[in-house]
Structure 1
Amino acid sequence: MSKMTTFVPLTKLRPFKDNWRIQVKCLHSWKQNTPFAGDTFEMVLADQWGNKIHATSKRSLMQRIQRVFPIDSWGVIEHVTVTPAGGQYRTTNYKYKMVIAEDAVLSRSDLADDRIFLSLANYEEIENGTKRPAFHVIGRIHELGDVQTVQVSGEDRKRVQFRLVDAEGNNLACCLWGTYAEQLEPFTGKDQTIICLIRFAKIKEFRGELQITNAFDASRLFLNAMIPEVTHLTEKLSNDDLSVGLVQKPSLYNRNDAEIKTISEAAEATQVEICKIICTIEAIDTDWSWFYIGCNRHQKRVNKIPNVDYGRMTKKDKPLFRCEHCRSNINTVGSKFKLHLVVKDDSATCNLMLLGSVGKSIVAVDAEELWDGSYEEIEDPEILPEPILSLVGKSFCFGISITLDNVTNGSDTFVVLEVCSGDKVLTIETGSQSNSDMVTTSSTMSSRSAMMLDQISSDECPTPITKRKEDDYDLQDLTSSSKKQCIKIIKQEKTKND
């Protein structure tokens, strides 16, 4: 191989001559058809200094070029020309593009350099419009919808929509088409972490929101790739406790700009969005356990290793669990909140789910303190710790996420992003009862300021209700002051009249 000094950096290429000699790596290649150029073979090349350039050639040269320049390989090109780069979408920011003609001399290179030359975009730059095309974006997939087939210009095309989230909790709308959407089909409907890297991404505006999408076949998609950038992001997400539904990061939305809606308005929403609702907790939905056993590092649910007697174990026994995120057997596990609440306002009733620290913000104690130490599944979900039962009848302002499942599938369960506070809440009337009939109590919960609206009407029954569907119920008196005291709810059987 020739010495590096004999190769010209891509940034030195100019149109005044065509006798350039370069050593480059093929980052991506694809076939393209345009009305002006017809069928062409396109490439993105990088040199050893990290400079990138878009290259094009006639379709007839494709096989010859691919033999020397398969993707991710290095080669040498002699006798190339450059012309001004144009068009609405450009894969690189360089002002020229390379033309590989019939007289170009192609040969392989023995340069060993595994770098992939990422130019990762900052989410804020994308959102404020300062990021130019030809960027690469990485993030964790959130709110992954189903792969749908839609009509575009009279043709059926596959499409999938989701959001990308970075380590700081910033998020971007994303929509992938065609074969890119098909790559995500195996992941739909599954609870797992997916780190997505889109190379040579494109920005477009859809319904007033900037959206990341693939630029026809010019983009390249990587899912959970074994590269340092993905590993680094995974570690940061894990350290920031963003792994359970990404609801523990309040910066997913601008809470000051979130609109306050009634429950019926949230249920009738036609697009994915963030909003606030002011509601009263009517019941704890005991169809679900109030906690799950999760990995302390990633907050993800773990699976029990079989053939172990978990019923006799205590917190000190530290049994082994399988964490698919860690991909190992671990004993650093504990109980994490997963509260399912039935809430109501004057317009309707819905279900809310609060995970992790969001649940702690209204219970005011750690899940570990309420947990009885057993790793066995709950036998009677209606036996609840007193701090959780005491939530019934209290009112809060919740910041919720309206997801694709709510919009397209009619799900009436919303994920709570944060327990909100703010003077704006006090000015909202809830129909028959205004907020002037409510008083606010100051409470500091889990180092967060939570707005709790206690209704003082004597008509409100303070007794906790565990099920909306239960018509008859009796409850024992809540007299214990112990945090770990559990209250058994005794159902009254209906007598059959002869």
Structure 2
Amino acid sequence: MESFKSTPSIKKTWNKRVIVRILRFWVQKDLTGREGLEMILIDEWGNQIQASVSFGNKRKFMPLLREGDINMIQNFQVMDNKPNFQMAKVDHLYMLGFGLATQIEQPDEGFEILENGFNFIPFTDIPTHDPTFFLDVLGEVMTHTINIDWVEMRTGKASKCDITLADADGTQVTCVLWGSLAEELKTFMENKLAEDKEPVMVALQFAKISTFRGQIKVSSMKNASKFFICPDIKEVKDFILRRGVSRSSSCNDTITDISIGQQALNRNEWLDAAHARRLCDLIKSEECGTFNCKGTILDFHPQESWYYEACGNDRCLKGIAKGSTIGDHCKKCKRPIGSIIIRYLMKVLVGDEIDQTYFTIF
């Protein structure tokens, strides 16, 4: 059998037989609203290629094609895979066209072809990835509350959610899920038991790169993308193992001496203190008080950081009116302002082995 890697020159009917699995199959409308068919095929050697059926041939092929099936195809057109900025495509020099002469048959048993054909890329490679081609991403969901937004599109309103994914090295990227994929993840996260501390892993296959206000994002594509929540694949097991090592090394010995009042505690004493909490416990807790926790600063938010002038009297630190000077009356401590100090506020994203949340630091 032939391989897609040896696909001949363009605009030629290929009469050799190829055994393929249909990885993805969907109905695609053109600019005039006419419906054709799109497929992503994978051969025995793992090579992927895209195939199209024009609206005129849709009726013939619709009953013959089913996602996941292994088929033997023959007499198809080989065409130049021209860039399409409305829809990403498979990264291949050519694509296939099914016409009236194309034959599709069920092959004899014995052919082993990958069921998913994942080709995950590191998040650090996303900025340089060609946006006209599909990409596959695998990451841990770092967003624990899924908010669905509705946006106006040319074809009407559409629902979406923005989530943060982290790869095995801790690199993060914003992922936009549209329509049913957003709803699926929201339902899963809402039904996830509070005591379930396992990371939520997701795989987005046949996604595209989008840029909004200078920020590069990974986005699902209507009909084309496949979405998997906690898939049982080797890549997830490898990811969790590698991610655990990465987190341990990044958090190790980041805490030295912490001062609590007049008493200095070493690292182990501080973590064993009565008020030590995990981030996930703090997020869900309704208890007010002072707590200790260990985490790694993942991100800074300078746009939400600021400073103010405060009363320097002991234990006051209340903001004072603009233009106040030493000796003016402080509204909080009811005393003359003895000194003026600058108080800074910074908002940071902190994460531990299980969860992440925002901290406001004064």
Q: TM-score, normalised by structure 2?
A: 0.66
- 1:169 Cα shift? 0.8
> Displacement of 1:433 after TM fit?
6.8
Structure-1 residue corresponding to 2:88: 90
User: What CA distance in whole angstroms lies between the structure 2 residues aligned with 1:382 and 1:70?
Assistant: 56
- Is the CA contact 1:196–1:224 (under 8 Å) kept in the aligned structure 2? yes
- Distance in 2 (CA, whole Å) between partners of 1:432 and 1:104 is 77
Q: Look up the match of 1:70.
A: 66
Listed one character per residue, the Cα deviations across residues 41-100 of structure 1 (whole Å, up to 9, x for unaligned) are 100001111111110113565576465542222110011111111212332111211011
Residue 10 of structure 1 contacts residue 53 of structure 1 at CA under 8 Å; is this kept in 2? no
**2:314 equivalent in structure 1:** 460
Contact residue 10 and residue 47 of structure 1 kept, 8 A: no
Q: 1:117 to 1:59 in 2, by over 3 A?
A: same
Deviation, 1:119, is: 1.7
Q: 1:349 aligns to what? A: none
Alpha-carbon separation, structure 1, partners of 2:125 and 2:16 = 35
Give yes or no for contact 2:89–2:132 (8 Å, CA) kept in 1: no
Segments of 4+ moved more than 6 angstroms? 356-361, 381-385
Alignment of 1:266-281 (within 5 A): none
The answer to whether the 8 Å contact 1:75/1:107 transfers is yes
- 1:69–1:108 Cα contact (<8 Å) kept: no
The residue that corresponds to 2:13 in the other structure is 17
Structure 2: segments with no counterpart, 5+ residues = 260-265, 282-286, 317-332, 334-362
Gap change, CA 1:157 and 1:359, over 3 Å in 2? farther
Mapped contact 1:26–1:44 kept (Cα < 8 A): yes
Tell me the distance in 2 between the aligned counterparts of 1:213 and 1:84.
25
User: What is the identity, as a one-letter code, of the residue corresponding to 1:227?
Assistant: I
1:148-174 CA-partner distances (Å, limit 9, x unpaired): 223223722111111110011101111
Give the aligned residue type for 2:309: S
Give TM-score, length-normalised by structure 1: 0.49
Where 1:180 maps in the other structure, the secondary structure is helix
Aligned counterparts, 1:139-158, within 5 A:
139-144=139-144, 145-153=146-154, 155-158=156-159
Distance 2:189 2:308 in 1: 40
Quote how far apart the aligned CAs of 1:11 are. Answer: 3.5
Q: How many residues are paired up? A: 284
Of the structure 1 ranges 196-205 and 89-98, higher mean CA displacement relative to structure 2 is found in 89-98
Question: How far 1:430 moved relative to its partner?
Answer: 4.7
CA distance in 2, matches of 1:227, 1:60: 39
2:159, 2:288 → 1: CA distance?
44
The Cα shift of 1:218 comes to 1.5
Q: Distance in 1 between matches of 2:163 and 2:217?
A: 10
Partner secondary structure for residue 133 of structure 1: coil
Which segment drifts farther, 215-224 or 165-174? 215-224
Cα distance in 1 for residues equivalent to 2:154 and 2:257: 49
Contact 1:29–1:43 (8 Å) recurs in 2: yes
Cα deviation for residue 360 of structure 1 reads: 7.1
Aligned to 2:168: 167
Equivalent positions of 1:94-493 (< 5 A) are: 94-109=92-107, 110=109, 111-128=111-128, 133-144=133-144, 145-153=146-154, 155-189=156-190, 193-241=199-247, 362=258, 364-366=266-268, 369-370=272-273, 430-432=307-309, 459-461=313-315
Q: 1:39 to 1:69 in 2, by over 3 A?
A: closer
* Whole-angstrom distance in 2 between the partners of 1:214 and 1:56: 20
Tell me by how many angstroms 1:120 deviates: 1.4
- Percent identity, please: 17
Q: CA RMSD in A?
A: 3.8
What letter matches 1:432 in structure 2? E
State the shift of 1:28 in Å.
0.5
In structure 2, distance between residues paired with 1:236 and 1:184: 24
Distance 2:257 2:77 in 1: 63
Distance 1:131 1:12 in 2: 24
> Which amino acid letter does the alignment assign opposite residue 45 of structure 2?
W
Q: Counterpart of 1:465?
A: none
Partner Cα separation in structure 2 for residue 129 and residue 30 of structure 1: 24
Which runs of 5 or more structure 1 residues have no equivalent in the other structure?
1-5, 243-247, 251-355, 389-397, 408-413, 415-428, 435-456, 463-470, 472-498
The AA in structure 1 aligned to 2:96 is M
